[in-house]
Amino acid sequence: MSQPLRLGVAGLGTVGVGLLRLLQAHGPRLAEIAGREVVVAGVAARDPHKDRGLSLDGMTWFDTADRLAADPSIDVFVELIGGDDGPAKAAVETALRAHKHVVTANKALLAKHGTELARIAEKNGVALNFEAAVAGGIPIIKTMREALAANQIRRVYGILNGTCNYILTQMLEEHRSFGDVLKEAQLKGYAEADPTFDIGGFDTAHKLALLTSLAFGTRVAFEQIHIEGIERITQADIEAADDLGYRIKLLGVALLTESGIEQRVHPAMVSTDSAIAEVSGVTNCVAVDGDFAGNVLLVGRGAGAGATASAVASDVLDIARGTRHAPFLVPAAKLKPYKRAKLGQHQGAYYVRLAVFDRPGAMAGIAGRLGERGVSLESIVQRRPRGSQIGIGAKPKPGAPTPVVLITHETTEEAIRGALTAIHRDGNVSERPQMIRIEPL
């Protein structure tokens, strides 16, 4: 058997400890698969005295990730620190320049510096693997690099954040408010004390940026993504979607168009007949449309110690077996500049919820604004929320805002946004209109 593959693991949080447990549990089996033993030679973390529930015997402790990355005792640097700059970036660059392979779960780092790091890796003849950076245990990176490499990808999309999917699922199944479910998600550890990164759509956008580069052979372009979170989704939207035959999901979508590439993260309504509508709780899913393979859907655990450690270990095994790909499939020097399609020209149908003042001319004014921009309606429904406190036969207070739901025919984003801006400005609604794209899948 060949010489052992020696790992240096920086970061002993949930994923780092999960990786050590996996290697300890399956070490002999992995050695048979790889043809060589995989050992952890060194580790680096903030607190060397913390009880992590497993033995670190035989592993050299390093006080900084940068020192570990440069040490000749390791062959592969495993970065599990996190952060898009600072120690993580410095250590990864150090390892690559020292001709050491790198495995990372750091989507934020790659979304910001992925193209640059790929160039350094290729220049030094080493691997930069990041299966764990997107959708946890779902092998989407390997699928796109290998199984679908012969296809021209038309579209890649999915549910890429388990926190958001959990919140939207609980709102539907338990008829609870966004704020209430968010607090529960924080107590269960699904959401951070500051949940903005998740619920604001940024975590999904980091992952989408990597999938876009793999799908279309372009430089990583996180800054070009249109990002909306789920903060404005209400119980009224969840109920209306259910009544209309839809589920609301936070989607990341990258689409190849004639004018360029659309990259967008936003809440979307998907038909209850679609497979993605059935993906509930903290589960993730990613779908890829290839010209020959058709639609390929992968579903699984998108986070957690076990799922993410599994993805990290798969990258390590590739290195142990001598398998190496260009990080973004196409050599970094040949990655094309990113050309952004105009989001305003996106064509589709839309769900709109308005709180319309009950007064003469209000609906006529709204219809006029839609007509000015060529937005036609498939349906219009005046609806009262489920569980309304208004008794049977009782009437709302005179002049009180009336909930009205509109479903448009296909139109452009520019047209619907312009119409809603004018409707809000006219003062016929009591709050900013809610708009959610209806995504055909």
Nearest CA-CA partner of 84 in 140, 156, 13, 133:
133
Alpha-carbon distances of 381 from 241, 370, 404, 418, rounded to whole Å: 12, 16, 6, 22
Give the torsion sign (CA, 421, 426, 432, 436).
negative
Determine whether 207 is an active site residue: yes
Q: Which long-range contacts (CB under 8 A, 24 or more apart) does 47-54 make?
A: 50/12, 52/12, 52/17, 53/17, 54/17, 54/20, 54/21, 54/24
User: Choosing from 207, 249, 334, 339, which is the catalytic residue?
Assistant: 207
Q: Distance between CA atoms of 312 and 333, rounded to whole angstroms? A: 26
User: How far is it, in rounded angstroms, from Cα 214 to Cα 111?
Assistant: 12
d(CA 315, CA 319): 7
User: Is there a contact between 295 and 147 (Cβ–Cβ < 8 Å)?
Assistant: no
Looking at the annotation, which residues are catalytic? 207
